[in-house]
């Protein structure tokens, strides 16, 4: 098993949920590479603070605590499923999405032993079990094929999508990307301004979703949403740009039940399937699915890792250059795509270091760990849109790329 696979080593494709709600899988201590330590703030609302060294939270001043973070592939609505690569959800057949989860080790059945950030043995001598648990801000994937943003309060999240035949929908979530409770949605209000002339259109609440029929408009279409999550708070501004109609994710697998379906999926817009997917085309044919926001170049997604070291190094440098290009044009929410791909390439290169002289082998490990850690920082800072933080993280990331390149001999 390659080192890149060892990092995400999972023995089962579908994991169970314990009574504490944590997905877990058994793994011996000698057969796993630990994700590097990161340091996070435990204050509610400051979970987005992720640093690569101990210290105080830059927001509230609390002491940062160590944690291990890992990027895994999971079902959009079934976090019990954890895989180390993209694919289809075995439960509802939707595309898996990448999510950041926290990793620790437990002794099942012994609640008196606290979870630890390192593997080891339980009192009875059995190996501790590795477990994954969802983390606030760990899932910033669009749930309906639209554009996804985090609100300035670092708790609310929202997604805007523009479906055929001309319906704009605004979905609102909490910090775990779960739909807000109906009472919280009722307390919110929203309006949009469309196009260059900024025509104002009110949004009407439909269950837990805000929507407006704006008709078919020319692309690219600029839509600014102004949202109040509480009547006493100021409006939050969110800018969306649509280059084509959004394509919603496939609906979850049907489940036999006597209860009527809840939410907006039960009342699709005319001419669309549930959730806004177009019924146009060959009858019975599945619509094309787009699961990335418009700001992300779909060509960057899921490029296979090359087999040879020179090709890996070339791809690593290409990913570094793509991150810089995104930062230069202000597409901060897109940097996680090449950052996570570079992370996977770096881990694959780490598995090739045995062919290097001992002094170069010793330099590869720290450089790879630094790149992995800063990939998560780029992901976190990209969601916040803070240019200085992104630039600082990219400087470290780029330095790690240079160190990895320097460790491997130049090819003729």
On whether both 257 and 170 belong to a single domain, the answer is yes
Structure tokens at 279: 């019924």
Question: In the 8-state DSSP scheme, what is residue 343?
Answer: H
On whether both 70 and 105 belong to a single domain, the answer is yes
On whether both 326 and 357 belong to a single domain, the answer is yes
pLDDT of residue 332: 75
Q: What share of the chain is helix, strand, coil (3-state, %, to 5)?
A: 25, 25, 50
CB within 8 Å of 59: residues ≥ 6 apart: 41, 43, 46, 49
Residue 161 near residue 248, CB atoms below 8 Å = yes
Residue 312 near residue 344, CB atoms below 8 Å = no
On whether both 118 and 86 belong to a single domain, the answer is yes
Q: How many folded domains does the chain comprise?
A: 3
207: closest CA among 252, 164, 169, 178? 169
Q: Which of 135, 168, 193 is the last residue of a domain?
A: 135
What's the length of the chain? 412
On whether both 330 and 371 belong to a single domain, the answer is yes
Indicate whether 47 belongs to any domain.
yes
Calpha distance 312→2 (Å, rounded): 14
pLDDT of residue 386: 62
On whether both 321 and 358 belong to a single domain, the answer is yes
Indicate whether 282 belongs to any domain.
no
Task: Provide the total of helices (H) and of strands (E) in the chain, helices listed first.
Answer: 6, 16
On whether both 128 and 39 belong to a single domain, the answer is yes
H-only helix segments in 178-308: 182-187
H-only helix segments in 188-295: none
pLDDT of residue 77: 67
Indicate whether 374 belongs to any domain.
yes
pLDDT of residue 278: 30
CB within 8 Å of 220: residues ≥ 6 apart: 241, 242, 243
Instruction: Show pLDDT as tens, one digit a residue, over the chain (412 residues).
Output: 222 222 222 222 222 223 233 333 333 333 457 888 999 988 877 877 888 889 999 889 999 999 998 888 888 766 678 888 888 888 777 788 888 888 999 998 888 899 999 999 999 999 999 998 888 888 888 888 888 888 888 889 999 999 998 999 999 999 888 899 999 999 999 999 998 888 999 999 999 999 999 999 999 898 999 999 998 888 988 888 888 999 887 655 433 333 333 333 332 332 333 233 233 322 222 223 333 333 334 434 456 788 899 999 999 999 999 999 888 876 777 888 889 889 989 999 998 998 889 989 899 999 999 998 899 888 877 775 566 788 899 999 999 999 999 999 876 5
On whether both 180 and 270 belong to a single domain, the answer is yes
Question: Residue 119, Cα to own-chain centre: how many angstroms?
Answer: 25
Domain with 54, as residue range(s), is 1-135
Residue 405 near residue 317, CB atoms below 8 Å = yes
- Cis link prior to 165 (omega < 30° from 0)? yes
Residue 304 near residue 85, CB atoms below 8 Å = no
Calpha distance 313→407 (Å, rounded): 11
């Amino acid at each position: 098993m390659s080192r890149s696979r060892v990092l995400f080593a999972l023995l089962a494709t579908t994991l169970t949920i314990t009574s504490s709600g944590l997905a877990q899988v058994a793994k011996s201590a000698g057969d796993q590479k630990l994700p590097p330590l990161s340091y996070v703030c435990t204050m509610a609302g400051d979970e987005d603070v992720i640093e690569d060294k101990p210290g105080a939270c830059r927001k509230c001043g609390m002491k940062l605590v160590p944690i291990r973070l890992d990027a895994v592939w999971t079902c959009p609505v079934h976090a019990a499923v954890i895989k180390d690569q993209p694919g289809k959800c075995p439960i509802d057949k939707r595309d898996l999405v990448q999510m950041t989860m926290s990793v620790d080790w437990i002794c099942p059945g012994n609640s008196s032993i606290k979870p630890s950030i390192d593997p080891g043995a339980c009192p009875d001598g059995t190996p501790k079990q590795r477990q994954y648990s969802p983390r606030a801000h760990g899932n910033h994937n669009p749930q309906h094929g639209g554009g996804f943003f985090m609100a300035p309060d670092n708790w609310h999240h929202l997604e805007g999508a523009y479906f055929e035949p001309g319906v704009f929908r605004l979905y609102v979530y909490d910090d775990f990307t779960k739909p807000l409770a109906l009472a919280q949605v009722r307390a919110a209000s929203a309006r949009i301004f469309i196009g260059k002339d900024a025509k104002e259109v009110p949004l009407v609440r439909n269950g837990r979703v805000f929507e407006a029929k704006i008709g078919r408009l020319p692309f690219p279409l600029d839509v600014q949403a102004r949202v109040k999550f509480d009547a006493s708070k100021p409006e939050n501004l969110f800018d969306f740009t649509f280059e084509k109609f959004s394509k919603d994710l496939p609906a979850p697998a049907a489940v036999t039940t006597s209860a009527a379906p809840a939410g907006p999926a039960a009342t699709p817009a005319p001419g669309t399937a549930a959730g806004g997917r177009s019924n146009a085309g060959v009858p019975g044919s599945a619509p094309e699915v787009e699961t990335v926001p418009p700001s992300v170049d779909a060509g960057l997604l899921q490029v296979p890792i090359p087999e040879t070291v020179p090709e890996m190094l070339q791809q690593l440098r290409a990913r570094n250059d793509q991150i810089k290009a995104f930062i230069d044009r202000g597409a901060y929410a897109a940097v996680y795509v090449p950052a996570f791909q570079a992370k996977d390439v770096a881990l694959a290169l780490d598995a090739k270091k045995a062919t290097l002289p001992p002094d170069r082998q010793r330099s590869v490990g720290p450089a790879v760990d630094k790149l992995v850690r800063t990939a998560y920082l780029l992901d976190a800072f990209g969601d916040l849109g803070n240019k200085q933080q992104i630039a600082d993280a990219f400087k470290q990331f780029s330095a790690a790329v240079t160190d990895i390149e320097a460790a491997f001999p130049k090819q003729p």
